Chain A
Amino acid sequence: MLEILREYGLMLLIGEYPHGKLGGLALTLIISVASLIVTFPCAVMIALARTGQSRIFKALAGGFVHSVRAIPLLMLIFWAYFALPLVIGFPIDATYTLIIAIVIYQAAYLGEIIAAGIEGLPKGQTEAAKALGLGYVPTTFRVILPQALFNVIPGIVNQLTTIIKETSLGSIIAVSELSYVMLQVNSNEVTKPLQIFGILAATYFILCFVLSQATGWLERRIAGKRTGRVVVEAVA
């Protein structure tokens, strides 16, 4: 196991870089964070449409969320990888197609999480803002969203864990992220698959375990803030 780490450790971390493309764990992290960043505004829009007044937007967002939840991510990746280049007329890098597929997929899930955060706020928040004479835009962006998004921070971090796990599907369309690199290592070193995939699993485990622990910590902290316990502690 140690020999494998010695020989391929650097490859596991950054792929072929600097002699070739950046890959491995670094690429997995970049794809994950980039996907989350692009997903976020889409998810907020979907959440606003889902919780808003307009029937049309509500139906559209609902249709989108339900449709996406009914399709496996792999199918979306196939669409983005094989069909999208034909539609737009020029080839796109597999890394981007992976990000596109994850963004579409996660927009539905993260949208639901944020929508739950908005619905979870007391109705009095919107009513008070209205009573103060605030319109829709200031009510949404200065009253509702700041609170709702703060409350769903644990959900967002948890979604990052999910995204990291989903990037492993990139290996199927030859995106040189962590799993793909280790599949290649495995085909070089045919005799040690258990160690190689053990290392691969352990790498994901450490990453996601730390993040899910962080999620738990954030959840407790934010729950405390909401009930005012943390504030009391700080005063006492």
Chain B
Amino acid sequence: MGYQLDFGKVLQGEYLELILQGVQTTMVLFVLSWVIGLVLAIVLTVVRAIEFRPTQLLVAAFVEYHRNVPVLIQLFVWYFGFAVVLPDAVNDYLNDIGAEIGYAIVALALNKAAYMSEDFRSGMRSIHPAQMEAARSIGLTYLGAMRWVILPQAWRLALPALLGQTLILFKGTSLAAGIGVAELSYQARYVEEQSFRIFEVYGIATIIYMLISFAIMWLSSVLSNRFRLRVK
């Protein structure tokens, strides 16, 4: 075949710069979506815990939409669909400051919020209702019981699932390439088109993804062990 591997061609000058920019964009997508997603997930969990049927149904619908539609399509809905609802002036402004990455963060964050809120909810549900009753009967208020009895256990129970979601989110940032966000996969594809060094470029991108994923997996196992609920 006569194909000579030459990583030097890709790991220099403009190509290296593009790949590094891609890594940076991937990390921006990952961190911002994670933070926003987590905050929203907590809000969703609280709203769903309040005994008011309409809002509970709304949250349930939100969760089901995000669980049953591919992430790529959720990105399309925001990027292609939502943009037409906005006035032209707003769209022009958004395009100037980079609309793709904004829509990607919104879509990924909402998606993770749905999944993470389910993880929180199942963490809460696995604590026996009697614990709440016992806490209340020894004189704690509802919020006190939540603060000192329920939540310290619930977040530890939810932690492994949340860490799993973190890894899925990191890998999911690659889907933003589908709406033209210049993250790592997109840049790899672009550099490959320019340089024709298929194996080198995808090799480097894959190794970068693997290294960061392994770091997340390692951190996950450390945290899961550290905060494992030991009485159960």
Contacts of B173 in A (CB 8 A): 72
A-B contact pairs, 30 of them (CB 8 A): A66-B217, A69-B167, A70-B210, A70-B217, A72-B174, A72-B175, A74-B175, A75-B205, A75-B206, A78-B188, A78-B202, A79-B206, A83-B199, A86-B1, A164-B70, A168-B72, A169-B72, A172-B72, A179-B73, A179-B76, A186-B80, A193-B83, A194-B81, A194-B85, A201-B69, A201-B73, A204-B70, A205-B65, A208-B68, A208-B69
Q: Is the CB of A72 within 8 A of B202?
A: no
- Residue B45 at the A interface, CB < 8 A? no
Complex Cα–Cα for A197 and B73 (A): 7
Q: Is the CB of A71 within 8 A of B202?
A: no
Contacts of A67 in B (CB 8 A): 210
Task: Output the residue of A172, A193, A198, A212 with the most chain B CB within 10 A.
Answer: A193
Docked complex: A47-84 residues within 8 A CB-CB of B: 66-67, 69-75, 78-79, 82-83
Q: Is the CB of B209 within 8 A of A70?
A: yes
- Residue B219 at the A interface, CB < 8 A? no
Q: Is the CB of B213 within 8 A of A78?
A: no
| A162-200 interface bits toward B, Cβ cutoff 8 Å, 1 = contact, 0 = none | 001110110110000001000100100001011011101
- Residue B148 at the A interface, CB < 8 A? no
Question: Which residue on chain B has the smallest CB distance to residue A209?
Answer: B68
Contacts of A186 in B (CB 8 A): 80
Contacts of B93 in A (CB 8 A): none
Contacts of A198 in B (CB 8 A): 77, 81
Contacts of B68 in A (CB 8 A): 161, 204-205, 208-209, 212
- The interface size bin for chain A is 35 or more
Task: List the 4 shortest-distance A-B pairs measured between CB atoms, nearest first.
Answer: A70-B213, A72-B174, A208-B68, A168-B70
- Residue B177 at the A interface, CB < 8 A? yes
Contacts of B3 in A (CB 8 A): 86
Q: Is the CB of A172 within 8 A of B178?
A: yes
Complex Cα–Cα for A74 and B173 (A): 10
Cβ-defined partner of B72 (8 Å) among A82, A171, A205? A171
How many chain B residues touch A (Cβ–Cβ < 8 Å)? 42
Known: A168-B70, A200-B73. A209 touches B64 (CB 8 A): yes
- Residue B172 at the A interface, CB < 8 A? yes
- Residue B74 at the A interface, CB < 8 A? yes
Q: Is the CB of B214 within 8 A of A70?
A: yes
Contacts of A168 in B (CB 8 A): 70, 72-73
Q: Is the CB of B209 within 8 A of A179?
A: no
Cβ-defined partner of B202 (8 Å) among A75, A201, A204? A75
Complex Cα–Cα for A194 and B69 (A): 15
